[in-house]
Structure 1
């Protein structure tokens, strides 16, 4: 993803609230399913990752991106912004 596109996505995401919040269990299949569903509906979402360790949050964000084919737009504290282009719908 080009830096110009990331900049535009960050601007669009500024007013968004997290739509999925990970719990103490971390990235369970149910949480990944919810994130996948949110990406299908919205393309651009925020996820709150509740992990105390910065490295753990980074690893979880990378796992979400690799498992779901999403791009990490931004990561600030516990909040990550994810983007995945919606597939073109055939008429």
Structure 2
């Protein structure tokens, strides 16, 4: 699902009150970490991750790794926090994508 500007704005507003579920730390990025993020985003569609100060990778590297190795889109980056979105494959897990599609 390719997002338009208004859809991204809607998703950012929905993610505003969320707390980050995942962190990128001194262990960096691994395939196992990405698999866990993909599993969580399949159930939620929208989540936040936090890139810690002691991470061995920069924020831009995290964005590139996520977008190159999965279908997850980075909706927003504020400081060291990233907002991620991916439309759920199962219909019963879709909530944000249905609302975004109406926009």
Q: TM-score, with normalisation over the residues of structure 2?
A: 0.77
Rounded to whole Å, the distance in 1 between the matches of 2:11 and 2:91 is: 22
Q: Which consecutive unaligned segments of at least 5 residues does structure 1 have?
A: none
1:19 counterpart = 2:21: yes
Q: Which consecutive unaligned segments of at least 5 residues does structure 2 have?
A: 93-103
What is the root-mean-square deviation in Å for CA atoms of aligned residues? 2.1
- Secondary structure of residue in 2 paired with 1:26: coil
Q: Offset of 1:89 from its aligned partner? A: 3.9
Q: Offset of 1:52 from its aligned partner? A: 6.0
Cα deviations by residue, 1:7-65 (Å, 9 ceiling, x for unpaired)? 00000000010011112011112211111111111000001122568x82112112112
1:80 counterpart = 2:77: no
* Segments ≥4 residues shifted beyond 2 Å: 50-53
Rounded to whole Å, the distance in 2 between the matches of 1:81 and 1:11 is: 11
- Secondary structure of residue in 2 paired with 1:16: coil
Q: Is the 8 A contact 2:20 2:50 kept in 1?
A: yes
